[in-house]
Amino acid sequence: MPSDASAKPEPAPPRHVAIIMDGNGRWAKARHLPRVMGHRAGVAAVRTIVRAAQDLGIEYLTLYGFSSENWKRPVTEVNDLMGLLRFYIRDDLEELHKQGVEVRVIGAKSRLEGDIIDLIEHAQTRTRGNPKLKFVIAFNYGGQDEIVEAARRVAEDVQAGKLKADAVTREVFTSYLATAGIPDPDLVIRTSGERRLSNFLIWQTAYSEFVFTDTLWPDFNKVHLVAAVREFQGRDRRFGGLPAAAGGRT
């Protein structure tokens, strides 16, 4: 049968999805388990979502793994999280490479132990240029610190004569951020029912769409990701302009 020429094409998926992974502790508490078990279940969810993102044609996936504020947590929990990062990179790196995933880690290297820094650098070097999915891990990351660091570097370059002050545009400033070369997120998802950014990509999310879900991160799977993408596809992104449909609100 001939195709229906009037059928609307499938909306494109978001090019870049960023996720605030939240709820590991509550997941563990509900099961009377130690918090580290929730974090371990969260690593399994990471594997699931990395594969699902590829299946959906998402080009960039950024996950908020450890914030610069998370150092306030108990030492034992921080150590567990560091150990899980080591475990994930060591166990999953070759599989990610085979899948064509490029790994990039953003965030301050300060306070990270030397072996973790070495693992991060190895992961980035090993997967550099892989074409399937750009997988960004925000680890020891804080959005405000990122902006301050970018401003400091801009000031240094102006002082050194490498850059003129009146040449500092939004685009130029963006090139000094940790996410230089990465498009801004189209869609930000936060799990566990919380509805705030928590210092995550605060420059880059100026025009992102947000989806909040009550699902705890360890339970978040491809079905939930598809639902969030479908919600995104149904929205009218205006970027400060008028609605696409006539008669919409201004």
Taking only the tens place, the pLDDT of each residue in 29-73 is 999 999 999 999 999 999 999 999 999 999 999 999 999 999 999
Q: Report pTM.
A: 0.91
Assigned domain for 167 exists: no
**Interval 226-236: pLDDT, tens:** 999 999 999 88
CA distance 54 to 59: 7
Per-residue pLDDT of the chain (250 residues; tens, 9 = 90+): 555 555 677 788 999 999 999 999 999 999 999 999 999 999 999 999 999 999 999 999 999 999 999 999 999 999 999 999 999 999 999 999 999 999 999 999 989 999 999 999 999 999 999 999 999 999 999 999 999 999 999 999 999 999 999 999 999 999 999 999 999 999 999 999 999 999 999 999 999 999 999 999 999 999 999 999 999 999 887 766 656 554 444 4
Task: Give, for 41, the enclosing helix (H) or strand (E).
Answer: helix 35-55
Assigned domain for 149 exists: no
How many structural domains is the chain composed of? 1
Domain limits for position 226: 16-142+185-233
Q: Which of 244, 242, 224 is nearest to 234 (CA)?
A: 244
pLDDT at 7: 63
Assigned domain for 207 exists: yes
Q: Name the active-site residue from 22, 80, 92, 145.
A: 22
Assign residue 116 the CATH number of its domain. Answer: 3.40.1180.10
Q: Which of 218, 215, 223 is nearest to 190 (CA)?
A: 215
Q: Name the active-site residue from 4, 24, 55, 70.
A: 70
- Phi and psi based region of residue 201 (left: phi greater than 0; alpha: psi -120 to 50; beta: remaining): left
Task: Please provide residue 40's backbone torsions phi and psi, each rounded to the nearest 5 degrees.
Answer: -65, -40
Assigned domain for 9 exists: no
Assigned domain for 243 exists: no
Assigned domain for 86 exists: yes
Assigned domain for 45 exists: yes
Task: For residue 129, give the 3-state DSSP assignment.
Answer: coil
**Interval 14-39: pLDDT, tens:** 999 999 999 999 999 999 999 999 99
pLDDT at 246: 46
Assigned domain for 154 exists: no
Catalytic-residue membership of 4: no
Catalytic-residue membership of 79: no
